Structure 1
Amino acid sequence: MTFSDYTYVRPDYPAFKQTFAEKTAKLATATSLAETRQLVQDITTLLRQIDTQANLWYIRHSIDMTDEFYNQETKFWNEHTPLFDELTTDYYRVIVASPFRQDLSDLLPDTFFMQAENKIKTFSAAAIPLFQKENELVDDYNKLIAGAEINFQGQSYNLSQMIPFGQSTDRDVRQAASEATTAYYVDHEEEFDRIYDQLVKVRTEIAQTLGFKDYVDYSYLKMNRFDYNREMVKVYRQEILKHIVPIVAQLRERQAKRLQLDSLKHYDLALTFLDGNARPQGDPDFILAQAQTMYRELSKETGEFFDFMVEHQLLDLVAKTGKDSGGYCTYIADYQSPFIFSNFNGTKGDIDVLTHEAGHAFQVYRSRWIQSPEVIWPTYETCEIHSMSMEFLTWPWMDRFFKDQVDKYKFSHLADALTFLPYGVLVDHFQQEVYEQPNMTPAERKATWARLQALYLPDRDYSDSEALSRGIFWYRQGHIFASPFYYIDYTLAQVCALQFWKRSQVDQDPTAWADYLAICDLGGSKTFLQVIETAHLNSPFQPGALETTAKAATDWLNAIDDRQL
């Protein structure tokens, strides 16, 4: 079967509710381990069925957001996802209290019960209308992004298709592309503000309904951040300011010299080299073929995995009209199939997103031994270790994609890993301030972004853009709207991934791949810090870890004469 053969059927909620509630009631009164195990397996099967249909809807909706059938299904899932969550939470209340809990470890690892206990604390039937409203607002944002049509140089482009123009070697084109893209956000400023203002208020009401001080505390629990809290993140952000922001300033100075500019404007940042960025030396079919060869050569395990992805047509890679923006990987449980979604646009980002999402997909493929959909994935910051590390573990094959431009690619890829860190913590810091002060006006939120932007990204010169100067850049960061607080995770994982880069590419450590494979096999059965320990990495929260990691990458970059690239 290929992905097109995977069957989507809207769940019959009343029938599902009856069956699920009956199983849960029996579980509550189970008097033997055998009966408990069977009921847990039955309930897990039901949860996998719902998870499968939800993901089939989500994938097909994001591939074509103009498809009226899946637009109608979106209304169903926006309304019913919280109702399914209610049933699941009832199950969690029963299973965490089961006298046989300790005997279920082969079916339900400790992290399952940790997540279940957090879900009980972060869900209430009283908040269901609020969850439904939140889902509707997120879909409003996604439609606003996917529906963008930007007239540029006589043609119409969506937001993903505009990205290559921002990397043009012609500075006038870069500036014009930036202005055209920004104009879309300005033209729809009231809509973005309305959606986000309502999201902040709805989410704050959710947190208050559940008895939390604010949505920040609620989110840390909802996102299962077992190993760290907001105070630890606050200290970590200060470490980024201290150790990384000065490095980024040096990298920007080198970039300006390469581009033969006195100083960089915001529309110059995406161009790394005067004669152009490294680009894949072939079309999407070429990229896919090279990737399949690469993964066969990387290891037996990755070869098997990627062949599976290609044979079952589990990749939708190219940008097109009506398609949602960005990239993601998800998992279709009943078919044991990862799925990769991206928006190829002819830039080096095509390779970054493919290897990144393949890292996610490889992890979940290796974790298919886990039946419970709650823990086949790790928590977000752990997931991103797999994806970001895969970007670096595939470096030896980058010449297949970039040919004589491979050195340019590696230099910019590693530099980008460092320059991303301040932006990543900016997104997190901004959200914390917003949800700590939920009554901010839209203008105050933009002023907050502008103030924090100046702190973390002093390299951004927006002096010739009134809109960007007053702080609307964050409109384009979908996580802020759709996945609140899911962003610091990327930076924590980047610190870990850079350690894998050093071990595999600099130290030539023969154990690096084995450690990577080991943490892919764990799925969500361990916490973030437990996974780091398994991988023999240093925690980003460990004193000196950030500084040591950054120094290794900076030393490598400083050893390169980038003017010759």
Structure 2
Amino acid sequence: MAEVKKIKTREEIPQEYKWKVDKIYENVEQWEKDFENLKTIVLKISNYVGKLGEGKHLLEYLRLDEKISRLAGKLAVYAHLKSDENTANSTYQALRDKIFTYIAEIGSAQAFFIPEILSLPDGEVEKELETTQELKMYDFLLRDILRKKPHVLTKEKEELMAAVSDCLNAPDRIFSMLSDADMTFKVIKDEEGNDIELMESNYGSFIQSKDRRVRKDAFKGLFETYNKYKNTFAASLTSSIKNFIFISKTRNYDCALECSLKPNNIPLEVYYNTVDTINKNLNSLHRYVKVKKKLLGLDEIHMYDLYVPIIDTPKENIEFEKAVETVKEGLKPLGEEYIGIFEEGIKDGWIDIYPNKGKRGGAYSSGDYDTMPYVLLNYDFKLNDVSTLAHEMGHSIHSYYSRKNQPYIYSDYSLFVAEVASTTNESLLINYLIDKEQDKNKKLYLINQQLEQIRTTVFRQVMFAEFEKVTHESIEKGNPLTSEDLSKIWHDLNVKYFGEDMIVDEEIDIEWARIPHFYRDFYVYQYATGYAAANSFAKEILEKGESAVSSYKEFLKSGSSDYPINVLKKAGVDMTTPKPLEDTIKRFNELLDMLEKENKI
């Protein structure tokens, strides 16, 4: 019997392929010292209760709040990065729990601030802004608080909400520990017949296998395991939804969706129009399924066939160093300064590159104002991993620009624009790869990759968004949802989105249980709007060069100094209209035309 290939432990990964978290703290002792320091500083908050009507004290409080938030952010980044290196390491899990629990306590101590600001006589804040020069920097922040007056609670209620915030986040934590640390999957055979331990981190490569048996085995192995825990996942997800509905009602919003969008001044119509625009254009996705079925030569196309490339290409094993050079070439239109920052990130240890036993799956960008950006990867030597590198570095360089050009209070960008910079990088990369490729089959392979980007980032994410809309509205109406209910909703959406050519396998019905973003309410639609905005930026950069790059960099530098809709609009992308999304679907159809023409379908 062939030996099972085991994933490496953390200790077996060479140091040069790990992120340099020790740049934040060299050891736990230093972290503990800062944690004790934080607790001492937090005690000063109470000195300002009842004094915020005076500009001098308001300014002092805002500066104290920044000092506390920056230190807490630094502590939190270290703890969560170290815990994600190995989710089974109890030392760092405890550290993570410690800081996030204490951050909830900080929130409770700070809870007086907004109610006190809103209790001041009308015009009082505006008067202090005029008379206290150093408060000018906080003008947008304070006026935004005043705008939210109908949704801010009394001091006592705000304290209570802050105190229970860690408990309200428990479903996400339960989901993460179950899916990342406690669940184990089957051992399956790869293309060469080797026994491989199936994991979330290697599932992506198996589901893209040209060997249909491999992808079917991986598909069934993954979702059959999730199905064993369907009731636990259902309890976790519905509890998360109920918690968010509770928050929205407590804060006097009409619905959970309004609670998510209104704080960033995003009209609800943006969400509704996104779902509606995609629903009106599902025929393009149905066409894609039909073309894929023909090109793969299948009598039936199943859900596990969705991710396999249409065009046969030589099996690639792209070393990480080659991936770095490829991404740099693709991002050249962004200019020398941008490429220099990218190179700095690689050299300075922003990235944790390879999977290891217990490491959190997937990929993300992290970091805070007083740390460098950090990127978690699970690099698997495929073209998709090269694209993921470009994507996550897009996030991190967006953060880099924003933190360098904005004061702390405006240094973080809104979730609504969070995926724009990352996806602009992906768009530029795939355009570069398509344009430079001379081999017909490889070119068609790359065309399919861009089709897949649009399918997964736009169509798929909007299907997720529609699932969120249906589930939240159902629970808001008082209708409980069991695991069977959730699976039926998911099944019906897959049938609608993929059309009559697709065999919607029953295993896919449990896929909702696998999606971590469902614990960040109404987040996923922003992948679609973000892709549409990114498509517009990439098009402008490639067509207009330096002037477009200049406008784009101003977007990257803007942080949260204005509302996200306005930040994009200033850079030339208006997301209150369906045009950016319609232009993306137009590109999707153009790529399909290319496939059909080249293959004489």
TM class, shorter-chain normalised?
A: 0.7 to 0.9
Taking the TM superposition and a 5 Å limit, the aligned residue runs for 1:499-538 are 499-505=536-542, 507=543, 510-537=546-573
Q: What's 1:110 paired with?
A: 140
Equivalent of 1:320 in 340, 345, 356: 356
Change (3 A) 1:167 1:250: same
Instruction: Look up the SS of the partner of 2:353 in the other structure.
Output: strand
Query: Structure 1 counterpart of 2:510, which letter?
Result: I
**Partner-residue secondary structure (3-state), 2:529:** helix
Retained in 1: the 8 A contact 2:554–2:571? yes
Please tell me whether the aligned partners of residues 104 and 166 of structure 2 are also in contact (alpha carbons under 8 angstroms). Answer: yes
Q: Which of 472, 476, 481 is matched with 2:510 structurally?
A: 472
Larger Rg: 2
SS at match of 2:577: coil
Alpha-carbon contact 1:393-1:501 (below 8 Å) kept: yes
Q: Is the 8 A contact 2:334 2:549 kept in 1?
A: no
Give, as a single letter, the amino acid of the residue that structure 2 aligns with 1:133: C
In 1, distance between residues paired with 2:552 and 2:139? 21
**1:240 match:** 278
1:28 is matched with 52
State the secondary structure of the residue aligned to 1:329. Answer: strand
Other-structure match for 1:391 = 426
Partner of 1:299: 335
- Where does 1:14-413 land on structure 2 (aligned, <5 Å)? 14-22=39-47, 24-25=48-49, 28=52, 30-32=54-56, 36-37=58-59, 39-93=61-115, 98=125, 99-101=127-129, 103=133, 107-108=137-138, 110=140, 113-114=143-144, 118=148, 121=152, 124-128=158-162, 130-147=164-181, 148-150=183-185, 151-153=187-189, 154-221=195-262, 224-229=263-268, 231-243=269-281, 245-275=282-312, 281-291=317-327, 298-335=334-371, 337-369=372-404, 372-395=407-430, 398=433, 407-408=443-444, 410-413=446-449
Cα displacement (A) at 1:480: 0.6
Q: Pick which of 144-153 and 290-299 moved more.
A: 290-299
Contact in 1 for aligned 2:85/2:359 (Cα 8 Å):
yes
CA distance in 1, matches of 2:378, 2:572: 34
Distance 1:408 1:524, change over 3 A: farther
Tell me how far apart the structure 1 counterparts of residues 249 and 289 of structure 2 sit (CA, whole Å). 43
Alpha-carbon distance between aligned partners in 2 of 1:508 and 1:192, rounded to the nearest angstrom = 48
Q: 1:118 to 1:48 in 2, by over 3 A?
A: farther
Q: Do the aligned residues in 2 keep the contact of 1:163 with 1:345 (CA within 8 Å)?
A: no
Distance 2:145 2:585 in 1: 33
- Tell whether the 8 Å contact from 2:330 to 2:432 is kept in structure 1 after alignment: yes
Query: What's the CA shift string for 1:15-46, capped at 9, x where partnerless?
Result: 23212333x448615454xx654553343122
State, as a whole percentage, how many aligned pairs show the same letter.
16
- Cα shift at 1:313: 0.6
One-letter identity of the residue aligned with 1:334 = D
Say whether the 8 Å CA contact 1:2–1:311 is kept in structure 2: no
Q: Does 1:451 align with 2:492?
A: yes
Choose which of 448, 451, 471 in structure 2 pairs with 1:415.
451
Task: List per-residue Cα deviations over 1:177-207 (Å, max 9, x = no partner).
Answer: 1111112211222221222232233333333
Amino acid at match of 1:3: V
- Equivalence map 1:486-565=2 (5 Å): 486-505=523-542, 507=543, 510-537=546-573, 539-559=574-594, 561-563=597-599
Q: TM-score, normalised by structure 1?
A: 0.87
Q: CA deviation at 1:545?
A: 4.2
Contact map agreement 1:111 1:524 (CA 8 A) in 2: no
C-alpha contact (below 8 Å) 1:282/1:401 kept by paired residues: no
Q: Which amino acid aligns with 2:108?
A: E
Number of aligned residue pairs: give it. 549
Letter in 1 for 2:166: Q
Higher mean displacement: 554-563 or 449-458: 554-563
- SS of the equivalent of 1:66 reads coil
Q: Could you list the per-position Cα deviations for residues 516-557 of structure 1 after superposition, in whole angstroms to 9, with x for gaps in the alignment?
A: 2121011111222212222222x2431544334422442254
Q: Secondary structure at the match of 2:357?
A: coil
CA distance in 1, matches of 2:142, 2:377: 30
Contact 1:385 1:496 in 2 (8 A): yes
Distance in 2 (CA, whole Å) between partners of 1:312 and 1:112 is: 37
Distance 2:382 2:255 in 1: 41
Which residue is equivalent to 2:14? none
Residue 469 (structure 2) pairs with residue 432 (structure 1):
yes
For residue 318 of structure 1, give the secondary structure of its aligned residue in structure 2. Answer: coil
AA at the equivalent of 1:534: K
- Larger CA deviation: 353-362 vs 117-126: 117-126
* Equivalent-residue separation in structure 2 for 1:459 and 1:519 (angstroms): 42
CA 1:534 to 1:371, structure 2 compared with 1: closer, same or farther past 3 Å? Answer: closer
CA distance in 1, matches of 2:111, 2:235: 31
Q: Deviations over 1:129-179 (max 9, x none)?
A: 542223232111111221343222223232121221111111111111111
Confirm or deny: 8 A CA contact 2:83 2:92 kept in the other structure: yes
Which region of structure 1 is more displaced relative to structure 2, 353-362 or 77-86? 77-86
The Cα offsets for residues 300-331 of structure 1, whole Å up to 9 and x where unpaired, read as 22133123312321111222221112221122
Report SS of the residue matched to 1:271.
coil
Structure 2 counterpart of 1:74, which letter? R
More displaced 10-residue stretch of structure 1: 555-564 or 382-391: 555-564
Moved more, 380-389 or 41-50: 41-50
Output the TM-score relative to the length of structure 2: 0.82
Residue identity matched to 2:421: H
The one-letter code sitting in structure 1 at the alignment partner of 2:236 is I
| Distance in 1, Cα, partners of 2:449 & 2:145 | 35
Contact preservation (8 Å) 1:226, 1:527: yes
Contact 1:256 1:264 (C-alpha < 8 Å) held by counterparts? yes
Tell me if structure 1 keeps the 8 A contact 2:352–2:376. yes
SS at match of 2:360: coil
AA at the equivalent of 1:235 = N
The one-letter amino acid paired with 2:516 is: G
| 1:245-283 Cα distance to aligned partner (Å, 9 max, x none) | 11112222222222112342111110122425x876522
Change (3 A) 1:31 1:548: closer
| Native 8 Å contact 2:417 2:530 kept in 1 | yes
Between stretches 416-425 and 358-367, larger displacement belongs to 416-425
Q: Match for 1:467: what amino acid?
A: E
Structure 2 residue aligned with 1:442: 483
- Conserved 8 A contact 2:55-2:135: no
Q: RMSD of the TM alignment (CA)? A: 3.2
Structure-2 separation of matches of 1:27 and 1:416 = 56
